[in-house]
Structure 1
């Protein structure tokens, strides 16, 4: 399994220009003070609900108050961190839907895909097609790839039987194609273990909900629990402030 972050929420160039040219007596700088784009967007969305300022003015007029003052709840960080904690703890997480992340997810089983696509609100999927992609031994794919569950991999006898079954399925797929069966019908014999690739986009609120249900220790199957951890790692790498919210999910 490979998970790569393709894109995530960024401030637009035009908005950056406005921030740099308007003079509101601000002393803040996003990059110098390690304020992420996600934090800037989150603050804008959250404060829009409570502020008389226009959304386009939130950062320039309120950044000093939130990003340059210590948290008033005595739990560490800035007052922006305090605000983010308050929003998550109060359940007003619709404001976090404005942060989105797009991932390349590669080499996961069709069984995982069936579980993953049960998460629909806040998620978008584009999946490799078994109808249009061919998985014969002589095709560009070189045959279908498959996932081996840990319980099978650690059992020598089960592993041998599993491998023989996958070989037999590949041979039968090849035979069906040789007999003129189109790929869209031959694919019917491919197992849940067959791998697929997809592009997935999800907002932060949806990802936190997904993680709370699929993280290790919550009864999730090993493969999707592993995916949950990789998604968390990818998000936290670009938006470190979110780590605490994954941890409490």
Structure 2
């Protein structure tokens, strides 16, 4: 699994100049502050950062919980359930080498946008450019798990799993050789087959996704690993969001 942040919300050059925002780490915080204060302020959206930016970003949080007054405001808004103001901030990820089983789980989450590698148009044959489908092996399928058959034969769980993958590849190849189109031959490919996708989500949705799929919350290992990787990619460019990736999320 490889997860990489490839795009995120950026403020326009004209707004940057008007608002005086030259710290790139404050960009998405400025968007959030503008959205939040627009709901409660007599000021126009374009006036909020120029007139209130110093107050919120330049002063220590009055609630004693750390950060700036902007952080205090974000905490108050999310706790009060007004998290729709965080939907104006979006992140786009390249997600590579995850299983189709994970994809099925991922698409159950709302307000995420997907562009997924197609098994209809990307041929998965051994002789195709892709060289056959790759697959994800669960950690529970390990070489030290043995299955006995009779008295003289013993095989590991990983041997059984690998054999099933080889059989699926063989069946796919033979169906294609028999003239079955790729869109139908793909029916024999397993949940373990990997795929690549591009995914975009707003901050509120991604916080909710993490809250539901984080490690220790009953999620399967692969999607829990994805949740952590997404959190890490976001916090890497927006450290101010680290406290929001908790058990409750933003919603």
Tell me which interval the TM-score lies in, with the shorter structure as reference length.
over 0.9
| Corresponding residue of 1:10 | 10
* In the alignment, structure 1 residue 119 sits paired with structure 2 residue 109: yes
Gap runs ≥5 in structure 2: 146-155
Measure how far apart 1:155 and its partner are.
3.8
Give 3-state SS (helix, strand or coil) of 2:114's partner: strand
* In the alignment, structure 1 residue 147 sits paired with structure 2 residue 163: no
| Corresponding residue of 2:152 | none
* In the alignment, structure 1 residue 105 sits paired with structure 2 residue 89: no
Deviations along 1:198-230, one digit per CA (max 9) or x if unpaired, are 100000000011011100011100000000000
* Residues 39/91 of structure 1: CA separation in 2 closer, same or farther (3 Å cut): same
| CA distance in structure 1 between the aligned counterparts of 2:207 and 2:132, rounded to whole angstroms | 36
* Residues 162/83 of structure 1: CA separation in 2 closer, same or farther (3 Å cut): same
1:137 to 122, 126, 139: 126
| Corresponding residue of 2:157 | 158
* Residues 154/36 of structure 1: CA separation in 2 closer, same or farther (3 Å cut): farther
| CA distance in structure 2 between the aligned counterparts of 1:44 and 1:248, rounded to whole angstroms | 26
1:70 to 55, 60, 79: 60
* In the alignment, structure 1 residue 96 sits paired with structure 2 residue 89: no
Measure how far apart 1:18 and its partner are.
2.3
Deviations along 1:74-121, one digit per CA (max 9) or x if unpaired, are 11111111101111111110000000000000000000000000002x
| Corresponding residue of 1:190 | 189
Given that residues 60 and 69 in structure 2 are in contact (C-alpha distance below 8 angstroms), is that contact kept between their aligned partners in structure 1? Answer: yes
* Residues 35/4 of structure 1: CA separation in 2 closer, same or farther (3 Å cut): closer
Deviations along 1:228-248, one digit per CA (max 9) or x if unpaired, are 000000111111111101034
| Corresponding residue of 1:24 | none
| CA distance in structure 1 between the aligned counterparts of 2:25 and 2:92, rounded to whole angstroms | 21
Measure how far apart 1:16 and its partner are.
1.6
Measure how far apart 1:35 and its partner are.
4.7
Give 3-state SS (helix, strand or coil) of 1:247's partner: coil
Given that residues 25 and 238 in structure 2 are in contact (C-alpha distance below 8 angstroms), is that contact kept between their aligned partners in structure 1? Answer: no
Measure how far apart 1:134 and its partner are.
0.2
Gap runs ≥5 in structure 1: 21-28
| CA distance in structure 2 between the aligned counterparts of 1:112 and 1:194, rounded to whole angstroms | 10
* In the alignment, structure 1 residue 44 sits paired with structure 2 residue 34: yes
| CA distance in structure 2 between the aligned counterparts of 1:147 and 1:235, rounded to whole angstroms | 25
* In the alignment, structure 1 residue 56 sits paired with structure 2 residue 56: no
TM-score (norm: length of structure 2): 0.92
The count of residues paired between Structure 1 and Structure 2 equals 238
| CA distance in structure 2 between the aligned counterparts of 1:155 and 1:4, rounded to whole angstroms | 33
Given that residues 25 and 237 in structure 2 are in contact (C-alpha distance below 8 angstroms), is that contact kept between their aligned partners in structure 1? Answer: no
